[in-house]
Structure 1
Amino acid sequence: MADQQKISMFWLLRYLKPVKGRIALLFILLLGTTGLQLINPQVIQRFIDEAAGSGGMAELLELAALFLVLAVVNQTMGVVVTYLGSDVSWRTTNRLRGDLLRHCLRLDMSFHNRKTPGEMIERIDGDVSSISNFFSMFIVQVIGSFVLLAGILGFMFTVNVPIAVVMTAFTLLSILGMMIIRNLGVQSSKNDREASATLFGLIEERIAGIEDVQANGHVPYVMNRFYRAMSSVFLKGRKAWMLRVVPWNVTVSLFTLAVTAVMLLGVRSYMLGEISLGMLYLIYQYTQMLNDPIERLGDQVQEFQKAKSGMLRSRELLSQQSDIQDGEDKQLPEGALSLEFDQVCFSYNKDKPVLQNISFSLKPGERLGIIGRTGSGKSSLSRVLLRLYNLDSGVIRIGGVDIAGLSLPALYRRVGMVTQDVQLFDGTLRDNLTLFNEKVDDEAIMETIEQLGLSPWILAQPEGLDTHLSASGSSLSAGEAQLFALARVFLAKPSLIVLDEPSSRLDAATEAMLQSGVDRLLRQSTGVIIAHRLATLEQVDKIMVVGDGRLLEFGSRKELAGNPSSHYARLLQSGREEELA
């Protein structure tokens, strides 16, 4: 446990180090506000003693004015301290959020298949928010509380030793109790965060599938799942809260005993004439002030338990390692790239192979059409080619280079892919076409969309390329969205292009326009086209037929079309393209 605490502290210091200047300023201001909190009751004590004695009106007005000035200065400094504390918190935790998001984006698809987007949002933002809440008040509340406690107890020892001893005993017992039970609710808080993440994942998943939910009458089922998830959040949250408030209950009990003893001793000293009425007030006020930092420490112990659960979950996420290891080769040959699959085997689950001993090769500039039934392994070929998953065995070479030894940036710089599901972003048409790459000029954009037949549509928009597009892409038809995705890939000028069923969402007229654009754009690249419409493959050089993860047929399109016994020729002859669906 001690080692884990040290690791956590070292981990936190990494994020606090860049804001050390602000923390130093915050500490100085804390000392100032603490000093003012200690002085103000003493001003009131003098006011009471002067009023009870023979003090003149001028002296009383001076003390009253001094109290008001100190109160205003204290409040102003308190605002600055709170602002600085929040600033330190957000600067620190935003760096952590960035690190978590960057790390998640680098993890392989096997990890993301196990996590819903809603759950990941909660992990990256929700868990860090609990750390942020702790950070924002930790320096202000915890360090400020200790400084105030030291000031109160130090002063009380100069006034009345017995009372100071009682107050010190109360303080030490309270702090000791909180230290002993500080981790009591950590695991329950972690379970609470996990239940919350599951709930967010459920909500995100159901909203993403809202059409299916409504169209198939699944709203009652979804609501049942929602209520069960909410019940789990409530039960785990209640347990975590009950364990977190134990430190507060302990301090309240100790304070009740302490304040009783202090007031009895104070009244006794006043009755014996050992202290003045003003000093009795000061003792009472300092006793109340002593409780405030103790309560704040108790509150921070609760926040610490929530924050620590967030730290543990964040460190757990950062410790996740991708199965995809980056290679060291940075370069691929110039121009169109050759492609070779050599005895490639792959499976998402070890007991269910998806690709089995796939071997074929393409020369630079050749086009390959891949056909097969749904579930035959067509899309899996593109996923392993892009290194979204690791192979079980075999080798894939691009331009004669084993992709396992190639750095991922070098691979993605030269290989482009258009998937069946098009992702559009909240931004302008230009942003969506260039993926926010400002280096791509408008001339290159217009040239590409002209070849894909999108220019009339874009020119018809009120602001052209500056027209804003929502993330849902509701202003685009399915075909237009697919053409957008194609333009996006071709603007990157890849040397090997994979089109995963590019015409799956297009009508016949749009498909013909798309085919013409693809033919022109593929002239400088090697192309792999995964299709379920045979008409899409009329211009390819090679055909590959796959079934149940095996290569059933591979060869020249013309030769296979002229061979009556080939799978491809039988499909052409029957004209039953639905067999590929």
Structure 2
Amino acid sequence: MENNSGNAFDTKLFKRLLKYTNPYKKTFYFVGFAAIALSGLGVLRPYLLKLTIDKGITQNDADSLVFYVSSMLVVLIFEVIFQFSFIFYANWLGQEVIRDIRVKLYKHMMNFKKQYFDNSSVGRLVTRAVSDIETIASIFSQGLFMIISDLLKMLVVLVFMFWQSWQLTLLVLTVLPFIIYATRVFQKKMKIAFEEVRTQVSNLNSYVQEHLTGMKIVQIFNREEEEYERFKDINRKHRKGWIKTVWYNAIFFPIAEMSTSITIGLIVWFGGLRVVESDTLSLGIIVMFIELAQMLFRPLRQIADKFNSLQMGMVAANRVFKILDTDSQIENTGTLVPKKLKGHIVFEEVRFSYIPDEEILKGISFEVQPGETVAIVGATGAGKSTVINLLSRFYEIDSGTIRVDGEELNDYEITALRSQIAVVLQDVFLFADSILNNITLNKERITEEQVIAAAKEIGVHEFITTLPNSYHYNVKERGVMLSSGQRQLIAFLRAYVSNPSVLVLDEATSSVDSYSEQLIQEATDKLTKSRTSIVIAHRLATIKNADKIIVMDLGKIVETGTHSELLKKESGYYKNLYEAQFQHEEVN
């Protein structure tokens, strides 16, 4: 979607946004009706004021005075009722619309490829999903309906003014083109200014989110002062963006106020002369026209302000729709939904690159038999973890074929495929929730009793029960209340209770202590029994007894065999790796 920041209004974008009001048509039409009613009632009050002056006060008629004042009170009561209904339901509609958009956006983002998140700032995505969508609500609460109401009121006022006195109306209209022109210029300038504001808000959110998350690194390397200065610079740009909007407001609104005052002066001067010289106008009409002129210009000034809200909402909607229009999803056209996989995995000449023309996997081929434990080893950047990402379909391969149980990977429905594969990563992510919910991920089919039984089987139960509230202990954001070893144990138990057909351990023991490693090794023995397992590890304990070891280097498979077979190869890659990294563990 193109960003036409120079245009005051994007009709195509607005029509798309209005489609989200379709489920709430009754409310939409009621708010529209309330806007029409308010425009009619708004004109009725000045007219009753005119009659009060001309037929009540000027003619000393007490009965007429009481009648017209009472009528004004009744009109005022109806105005209050419709004003309340208008504001409440306009805001209600806005909240319903943004709820629907936010749900759709979040669902859309959850299906993005990992590659999208690799290249996108989390802070910007948070801004889109939270503050930008909240801003869209202002289109309905402060923008669209308010502008329609004000435009209707202005139209009704103009028609009524011509009916009452075309001379005074033409006098008022001499000033109106100037205000309309100023409003139009103001709208265009504010559209560009708000684009800049939203960009700076996004940058600010992104920076704060990233650096609060990485605060430990900032403090370890004494980067507080430097990062503080960078924050001040970003904050300064944010302030500059807002100051520009304040500048335009400071220019426009005094001009609009001055124009209103000039118009009222012209009405009093011209109308007063007619009253004194020819008696063609009444005092009531002059007072009424002063009120009507303010009713005509006040909405015009407010329209400019409300147009700001509308434009901010449109800018936010443009940003949100850009994400909704992003086609970065794994194609889920598979129809196979197996209850259980045998775990026969075949890679045939698989090539893959994260960046075009920079291959990570260069035509690798291997086979994993059902129930077999296969270890993949190699230096950092060899492509080991990439193999796992492709098996789980987080990324699409460039060429080649991956088969599971004789069927191509793309023939499986993604959710069904991933539910059969459990992955334990080196960097464990835990949510700010209880240990129990982090293990079950709120799956109702997994009960607390099943979790406790599984924890006892792999020897984790004792560690969990030493924590306050046991399985209901809140680990806080990213599991900061637990050590890296403890987080790893929780992740292992999470994989264990899901009862996968294929188990993947991606360097799952590289950052744990000896005691945690012993517990994980016990769990590994239980999990890998009669189950296809792929282990990416540096530690001897997790690969020594593997049925097959695949050695990778620079995206290629350089050796394949058992631990003992590979050690027999003179000057073999695995043997050199073993002697350099693993021999001291064997001695221990």
Q: TM-score, normalised by structure 1?
A: 0.90
Amino acid at match of 2:443: N
Partner secondary structure for residue 270 of structure 2: helix
**1:434·1:440 contact (CA, 8 Å) conserved in 2?**
yes
d(CA) in 2 for partners of 1:290 and 1:560? 89
Query: Post-superposition shift, 1:545?
Result: 1.8
Q: Which residue of 1 aligns with 2:438?
A: 432
Unaligned residue ranges in structure 2 (runs of 5+): none
**2:267·2:286 contact (CA, 8 Å) conserved in 1?**
no
2:274 is the alignment partner of 1:269: yes
Query: Post-superposition shift, 1:59?
Result: 5.2
Q: Deviations over 1:17-41 (max 9, x none)?
A: 1121111222222333333322333
Q: Which residue of 1 aligns with 2:552?
A: 546
Unaligned residue ranges in structure 1 (runs of 5+): none
Amino acid at match of 1:473: G
2:569 is the alignment partner of 1:559: no
Q: Which residue of 2 aligns with 1:108?
A: 113
CA distance change for structure 1 residues 524 and 239 in 2, over 3 Å: closer, same or farther?
Answer: farther
Alignment of 1:330-409 (within 5 A): 330-332=336-338, 334-409=340-415
d(CA) in 2 for partners of 1:28 and 1:70? 17
CA distance change for structure 1 residues 442 and 210 in 2, over 3 Å: closer, same or farther?
Answer: same
Query: Post-superposition shift, 1:208?
Result: 1.0
**1:29·1:77 contact (CA, 8 Å) conserved in 2?**
yes
Q: Which residue of 1 aligns with 2:305?
A: 299
d(CA) in 1 for partners of 2:314 and 2:253? 18
Amino acid at match of 1:196: V
CA distance change for structure 1 residues 415 and 522 in 2, over 3 Å: closer, same or farther?
Answer: same
Q: Which residue of 1 aligns with 2:52?
A: 47
Q: Deviations over 1:75-126 (max 9, x none)?
A: 3432332121111111112222222222222222222122111111112223
2:176 is the alignment partner of 1:163: no
Once structures 1 and 2 are overlaid, which stretch shifts more, 473-482 or 34-43?
34-43
Query: Post-superposition shift, 1:140?
Result: 3.6
2:158 is the alignment partner of 1:153: yes
Query: Post-superposition shift, 1:256?
Result: 5.3
Q: Which residue of 2 aligns with 1:225?
A: 230
CA distance change for structure 1 residues 59 and 186 in 2, over 3 Å: closer, same or farther?
Answer: closer
The partner residue of 1:418 within 415, 418, 424 is 424
d(CA) in 1 for partners of 2:580 and 2:351? 32
d(CA) in 2 for partners of 1:250 and 1:96? 38
Q: Deviations over 1:367-402 (max 9, x none)?
A: 111222222222222122222222233222222222
Partner secondary structure for residue 16 of structure 1: helix
Q: Deviations over 1:422-455 (max 9, x none)?
A: 2222333332111122222223222222223222
Q: Deviations over 1:297-323 (max 9, x none)?
A: 111222233233223222222221116
Amino acid at match of 1:146: L
Q: Deviations over 1:523-561 (max 9, x none)?
A: 242111111211222332111222222222112334334
Partner secondary structure for residue 346 of structure 2: strand
2:205 is the alignment partner of 1:200: yes
**2:521·2:541 contact (CA, 8 Å) conserved in 1?**
no
Q: Deviations over 1:387-423 (max 9, x none)?
A: 2222233222222222234332232122221222222
2:478 is the alignment partner of 1:475: no
d(CA) in 2 for partners of 1:7 and 1:494? 48
d(CA) in 2 for partners of 1:129 and 1:425? 25
The partner residue of 2:321 within 306, 315, 321 is 315
Q: Deviations over 1:440-493 (max 9, x none)?
A: 222322222222322223344554444444233233222221121122223222
Query: Post-superposition shift, 1:136?
Result: 1.2
Alignment of 1:113-152 (within 5 A): 113-152=118-157
d(CA) in 2 for partners of 1:379 and 1:576? 20
**1:118·1:205 contact (CA, 8 Å) conserved in 2?**
yes
CA distance change for structure 1 residues 281 and 575 in 2, over 3 Å: closer, same or farther?
Answer: closer
CA distance change for structure 1 residues 128 and 353 in 2, over 3 Å: closer, same or farther?
Answer: same
d(CA) in 2 for partners of 1:268 and 1:577? 109
Query: Post-superposition shift, 1:61?
Result: 4.8
The partner residue of 2:448 within 420, 423, 442 is 442
Amino acid at match of 1:391: I
d(CA) in 2 for partners of 1:564 and 1:221? 52
Partner secondary structure for residue 529 of structure 1: strand
The partner residue of 2:15 within 10, 15, 19 is 10
Q: Which residue of 1 aligns with 2:542?
A: 536
d(CA) in 1 for partners of 2:253 and 2:370? 72
d(CA) in 2 for partners of 1:204 and 1:76? 44
The partner residue of 2:220 within 215, 234, 239 is 215
d(CA) in 2 for partners of 1:575 and 1:8? 59
d(CA) in 1 for partners of 2:476 and 2:238? 33
Amino acid at match of 1:268: L
Partner secondary structure for residue 348 of structure 1: coil
Q: Which residue of 2 aligns with 1:78?
A: 83
CA distance change for structure 1 residues 80 and 520 in 2, over 3 Å: closer, same or farther?
Answer: same
**1:495·1:524 contact (CA, 8 Å) conserved in 2?**
no
d(CA) in 1 for partners of 2:463 and 2:257? 70
d(CA) in 2 for partners of 1:12 and 1:257? 40
Partner secondary structure for residue 400 of structure 2: strand
**2:142·2:310 contact (CA, 8 Å) conserved in 1?**
no
Alignment size in residue pairs? 577
**2:540·2:582 contact (CA, 8 Å) conserved in 1?**
no
Alignment of 1:479-558 (within 5 A): 479-558=485-564
d(CA) in 1 for partners of 2:37 and 2:326? 44
Percent of matched pairs sharing the same residue: 24
**2:373·2:533 contact (CA, 8 Å) conserved in 1?**
yes
d(CA) in 2 for partners of 1:230 and 1:299? 25
d(CA) in 1 for partners of 2:157 and 2:507? 75
Q: Deviations over 1:236-284 (max 9, x none)?
A: 4444665688876775575455444433332233323223323221111
CA distance change for structure 1 residues 10 and 62 in 2, over 3 Å: closer, same or farther?
Answer: closer
CA distance change for structure 1 residues 268 and 522 in 2, over 3 Å: closer, same or farther?
Answer: farther
d(CA) in 1 for partners of 2:161 and 2:153? 12
d(CA) in 1 for partners of 2:175 and 2:310? 22
d(CA) in 2 for partners of 1:80 and 1:464? 51
CA distance change for structure 1 residues 512 and 167 in 2, over 3 Å: closer, same or farther?
Answer: same
Q: Deviations over 1:169-226 (max 9, x none)?
A: 6557755765687445434432332232122111111111100101111112212221
Q: TM-score, normalised by structure 2?
A: 0.89
**2:102·2:133 contact (CA, 8 Å) conserved in 1?**
yes
d(CA) in 2 for partners of 1:301 and 1:358? 58
Once structures 1 and 2 are overlaid, which stretch shifts more, 363-372 or 539-548?
539-548
